[in-house]
Amino acid sequence: MRALVTGCGRRLGFYLCQQLVADGWQVTGSYRSERPELAQLQALGVELVQADFCDAEAVDRLIQRLAVHQDLALVIHNASAFEPMSADPHQQLAQFEQFYRVHMAAPFQLNQALSPQLAAHDNASIIHLTDIYIHAPAPQFASYVASKAGAHALAMSFARELAPHIRVNTIEPGPILFLDEHSAQWRQHVLAKTPLAREGGLEPIWQAVQLLMTNHYMTGASIRVDGGRALAVI
């Protein structure tokens, strides 16, 4: 069987591709920008497709590439854009449009176009990666969080529309893997308000993916993987 992982070039997407290959899956990964990690995925046999999700035509080209793969049985929407709200009001709409394209419009295109292929297989699954902050949006990340909340609503709508042939669920990560630009002070601040008091790493997300892939009776579900951080922010 084949899986599509979007945003495969780094961090979580890169890791999920590795785990799926090790688990016996054929994998297609989409990426926006060239990165050194892509050579490693290519060496593993991952089919790589460049696609800027801000461009609807690029998403259509990805769909066309996937059309030949009648073994497609899993889609993981991992591609993400993230930055604080710009202080320049003229840039804020452009930011919102970018987040909307990456987190909502492109997944909508993919789900709509790929659902006939997915429905041909027993236990086909779509998984959207969202964020625990969809339940407690911070003003400085308003556009990002709003589009991630939209991705959640989109997933729930598809869960109803595509049942019983395709299951659609979401995973809500918390402090899984800090960014390089996060200072030691910021990391301490976040972990102090996380009940398990540690960075999660990428493996807990893979474990949640495995659950959603294999449990035949889960659709329209959301799994928080956050060390309990949502308890402090919601």
- Over its C-alpha atoms, the chain yields an Rg (Å, rounded) of 17
CA separation for the pair 109, 206 (Å, rounded): 25
What per-residue string of b and e applies to 120-151 under the rule 16 or more CB within 10 Å gives b? ebeebbbbbbbbbbbbebeeebbbbbbbbbbb
Q: Which residues are catalytic?
A: 144
Beta-carbon contacts of 2 under 8 Å, excluding residues fewer than 6 positions away, are 25, 26, 27, 28, 69, 71, 72, 73, 74
**Using an 8 Å Cβ cutoff, are 225 and 205 in contact?**
yes
